[in-house]
Amino acid sequence: AKKYIVQKQFDGLPKSTDLTIVEEELPPVTDGEFLAEAVYLSVDPYMRAMSDSVPIGETFLGTQVAEITQSKNSDYPVGKHTVAPFGWRTHTLSTGGPFPIGLPKAWIIPDPEGLPLSFYLGVLGMTGNTAYFGFLEICKPKPGETVVVSGAAGAVGSIVGQIAKIKGCKVIGIAGSEEKGKWLVNDLNFDNFINYKDPKFKEKLEELTPKGVDCYFDNVGGQISSEVLHRMNKHGRISVCGSISTYNDKEVKGGYAEMGGFGVTLLVLAGVVQSDIVSKQLKMEGFMVYQWWDRWMEGIEQNKKWIKEGKLKCSETVTKGFENTLKAFVDMLQGGNTGKAIVQI
Ligand code: NDP
């Protein structure tokens, strides 16, 4: 068995020397336990955001799809696949949970009905439910409304945009390359996209949202999001899902802009959004997807139905080999993925 342990806490973008792969010998399975062999590992932005919670020498965190190969626990029968936060390891002895930091128990994948098992780390797992509940429950979109999604070509964002289209909305995606933008419009039916690296980002946003923005699903935070908030309509809804633009920063930066007039110079924090929130009576709500744990299968079943109806497409960026997990993680943090970033063991 192999696992990644923390050698050094990340400082900025993770480096190859921050985690080390070590071999371990697992003891025999005892009553109440089962042995699971990783089939797919997930690499997700939250692992960077929460990396400081893993002490040096401990296994790095993460969720995987694993096959149960031995079992002395009737809830986890041999031959079934489980989705569980076992961390970055090839083999795990477990009782199925509970796990630290409030993560739910290991759950058994229902009949995959011909869909790939890797989907249970993406569209049919945490990612899909983040999109389903985080968008529908917080933004409460209505047909005809304008929806903006940041991180739109990523795992969560690409699903949010498609759900918004299913709900009859106009959808503008924000992503980091022209290629990703073309994929959103041509393959996923987004109405349009903006490359946030374009120096004319603000002008493009204004041009593409002539009626303002009713719902904003925010994966990235920072300046991009401040610009979107300035475009919100009265009673707009903002679902704050993540802030990946700052996960590798030691301190969250705030820029000051100089505003002059009437003989005085004011220093204004660039990106201040509170006045928009007040004057437009906006609703802005953060969430943790596991708050909907009691409705978990509802999201999965609905997303599965939309996939089968051809209404929801899912793309994966698959890296092969346990040894390449850290590389896959760093690539994802730098935008190397389109759709869900997955490691195939
Ligand atoms: P993605 O598949 O979207 O991968 C991350 C993407 O972030 C990259 O592909 C890259 O795309 C983009 N990115 C990287 N750096 C920046 C930057 N500086 N500014 C803007 N975009 C950047 O990841 P997920 O879909 O898994 O996660 C998306 C967000 O959802 C994250 O913030 C994550 O933390 C959050 N999340 C929150 C949950 C919750 O319960 N609240 C649950 C799950 C996820 P590009 O090429 O466009 O730059």
Q: What is the domain range of residue 210?
A: 126-290
CB of 220 within 6 A of ligand 1: the answer is yes
CA distance 205 to 246: 22
- Residue 340 CA, ligand 1 centroid: distance in Å: 10
Closest CA to 73 of 105, 46, 99, 96: 96
Whether 228 is in a domain gets the answer yes
pLDDT per residue of the chain (345 residues) written in tens, 0 to 9: 999 999 999 999 999 999 999 999 999 999 999 999 999 999 999 999 999 999 999 999 999 999 999 999 999 999 999 999 999 999 999 999 888 777 789 999 988 889 999 999 999 999 999 999 999 999 999 999 999 999 999 999 999 999 999 999 999 999 999 999 999 999 999 999 999 999 999 999 999 999 999 999 999 999 999 999 999 999 999 999 999 998 888 765 544 444 444 444 444 444 578 889 999 999 999 999 999 999 999 999 999 999 999 999 999 999 999 999 999 999 999 999 999 999 999
Q: Where residue 215 sits, what CATH number does that domain have?
A: 3.40.50.720
Could you tell me if 240 and 137 lie in one domain? Answer: yes
Cα(178)–Cα(136) distance, integer angstroms = 28
Residue 304 lies in a domain: no
Question: Ligand 1 center to residue 13 CA distance, Å?
Answer: 14
Shared domain check, 257 and 171: yes
CA distance 37 to 141: 41
Measured from the CB, is residue 156 less than 6 Å from ligand 1? yes
* 177 and 265 both lie in a single domain: yes
Ligand 1 touching residue 44 (CB < 6 A)? yes
Whether 176 lines ligand 1, by a CB cut-off of 6 Å, is: yes
Q: What is the pTM of this model?
A: 0.94
Q: Is 307 among the domain residues? A: no
Q: Does residue 296 belong to any structural domain of this protein?
A: no
Residues 175 and 92 in one domain: no
Same domain flag for 188 and 326: no
Query: Which strands sit side by side in the sheet containing 170-175, from one edge to the other?
Result: 192-195, 170-175, 146-150, 213-218, 232-240, 283-286
- CATH number of the domain to which 66 belongs: 3.90.180.10
| C-beta 172 within 6 A of ligand 1 | no
Classify residue 309: in a domain, yes or no. Answer: no
Is there a single domain that holds both residue 194 and residue 263? yes
167, part of any domain: yes
Cα 29 to ligand 1 centre (Å): 38
Domain membership of residue 50 (yes or no) is yes
Which of 13, 43, 182, 244 gets mutated to test ligand 1 (max ligand atoms within 8 A of its CB)? Answer: 244
Q: Which atom of ligand 1 is nearest to the CA of 286?
A: 41
Give yes or no: residues 242 and 139 share one domain: yes
Which residue from 86, 91, 126, 119 is spatially nearest to 313, judged by alpha carbons?
Answer: 119
Cβ proximity of 235 and 165 under 8 Å = no
